[in-house]
């Protein structure tokens, strides 16, 4: 594994992972796992949170495994696991060697491309009661990948980029995985009219209004830290309404139903800025054109425009949609 840290800039989600490579996984080579897999799970799980691209591309048994494994790590989206499976082996469809048996030239094995040392680290004794985990079986390999990501920073949305970087020590790989995860994430159907906010959204907005004028503090979750950063504010606002959000903007963006481009923004929606692989800012919409935000160091929580010339708005999510 790597010894990793992060440098913050602006909101809590704007950071760069720096890694000292000390071993671990060697990834990035697309290989095959084959269609046979022991211990497969029921593949009839809900597809409501999968995009049409995900439904068409991911084998049903893999979809179920990704979702089950991600559920063991709070803050880890199944789409990130699926994206790694896509980049590594095309969900077991690649014809390259080293998956059903043996290893490739880098020593990587199985659908999630583990080397022996890392496989052993994330499959301690007792991991599979009554048997030994099989690196070539996706029913064993996908949960092991989730355990690794969770340990490396994905738990509770602490540092998703760091976790993916630990999986393969390359910035291009992190970006590719996050962009693929973005493509696998379902968008919320367009709302035909603006309407009013839900009860939960109204509570979140009411809370956010009480914070206007509060200092911006990088990593701040509220009064205990002396203020808020962007994602700390949105997390606290929805916590007041009984809805738990992930901690950083990147993970908030990936963990909630997203609106299609051009869909009307409702009060209570979260609006995001950056790119799919680097979401660096989030605000809480209070109308179609305005939001409450914790902008940056030196600028207190305020009401501001959602879109303005030159900004990098990328889209909106609806936290209340998954709580219907």
**What is the pLDDT at residue 11?**
56
Q: Which fold has domain 2-184?
A: Lysozyme (1.10.530)
Q: Where in the chain is the domain with CATH 3.90.1720.10?
A: 199-323
Architecture of domain 199-323: Alpha-Beta Complex (3.90)
pLDDT digits over 15-47, tens only?
Answer: 222 222 223 332 332 232 333 333 333 333 456
- Domain(s) of CATH 1.10.530.10: residues in the chain: 2-184
Q: Is the pLDDT of residue 187 over 50?
A: yes
Residues 15, 324: Cα–Cα separation, whole Å: 33
Q: Which one, of 104, 263, 87, lies nearest residue 178 by Cα?
A: 87
Q: What does the pLDDT look like over 59-107, one tens digit per residue?
A: 999 999 999 999 999 888 899 999 999 999 999 888 888 888 899 999 9
pLDDT digits (tens, 9 = 90+) for 226-241: 999 999 999 999 999 9
Return d(Cα 196, Cα 140) in angstroms, integer.
46
* Cβ 7 vs Cβ 16: under 8 Å: yes
Count Cβ atoms below 10 Å from residue 172 Cβ, excluding itself: 10
Over residues 281-290, the mean pLDDT reads 93
pLDDT band at 145 (very low <50, low <70, confident <90, very high): very high
DSSP per residue over 53-89, as a string? HHHHHS-HHHHHHHHHHHTTSTT--HHHHHHHHHHHH
Rounded Cα distance between 92 and 141, Å, is 12
CA distance to 31, 38, 298, per residue, from 76 (Å): 24, 25, 32
> Angle formed by the axes of helices 160-167 and 171-184, to 10°?
120
Whole-number pLDDT of residue 2: 28
Check whether 190 has a pLDDT greater than 70.
Answer: no
Q: Does the CA dihedral 311-80-239-10 come out positive or negative?
A: negative
């Amino acid at each position: 594994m790597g010894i990793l840290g992060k440098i913050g800039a602006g909101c809590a989600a704007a950071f760069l992972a720096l890694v000292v490579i000390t071993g671990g996984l060697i990834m990035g080579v697309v290989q095959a796992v084959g269609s046979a897999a022991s211990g497969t799970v029921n593949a009839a799980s809900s597809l409501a949170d999968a995009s049409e691209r995900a439904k068409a591309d991911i084998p049903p048994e893999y979809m179920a495994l990704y979702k089950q494994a991600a559920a063991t790590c709070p803050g880890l989206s199944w789409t990130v696991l699926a994206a790694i499976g896509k980049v590594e082996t095309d969900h077991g469809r690649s014809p390259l060697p080293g998956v059903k048996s043996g290893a490739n030239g880098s020593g990587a094995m199985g659908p999630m491309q583990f080397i022996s040392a890392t496989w052993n680290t994330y499959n301690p004794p007792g991991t599979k009661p009554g048997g030994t985990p099989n690196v070539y079986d996706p029913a064993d390999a996908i949960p092991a990948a989730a355990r690794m990501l969770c340990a490396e920073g994905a738990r509770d949305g602490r540092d998703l980029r760091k976790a993916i970087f630990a999986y393969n020590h390359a910035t291009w790989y992190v970006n590719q995985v996050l962009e693929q995860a973005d493509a696998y994430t379902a968008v919320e159907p367009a709302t035909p009219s603006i309407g009013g906010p839900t009860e939960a959204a109204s509570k979140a907005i009411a809370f956010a209004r009480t914070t206007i004028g509060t200092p911006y503090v990088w990593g701040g979750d509220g009064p205990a830290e002396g203020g808020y950063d962007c994602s700390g504010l949105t997390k606290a606002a929805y916590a007041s309404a009984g809805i738990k959000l992930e901690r950083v903007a990147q993970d908030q963006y990936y963990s909630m139903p997203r609106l299609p481009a051009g869909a009307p923004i409702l009060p209570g929606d979260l609006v995001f800025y950056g790119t799919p692989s680097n979401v660096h800012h989030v605000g809480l919409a209070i109308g179609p054109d305005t939001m409450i935000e914790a902008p940056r160091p030196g600028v207190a929580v305020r009401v501001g425009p959602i879109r303005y010339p030159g900004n990098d708005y990328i889209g909106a999510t609806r936290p209340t949609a998954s709580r219907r």
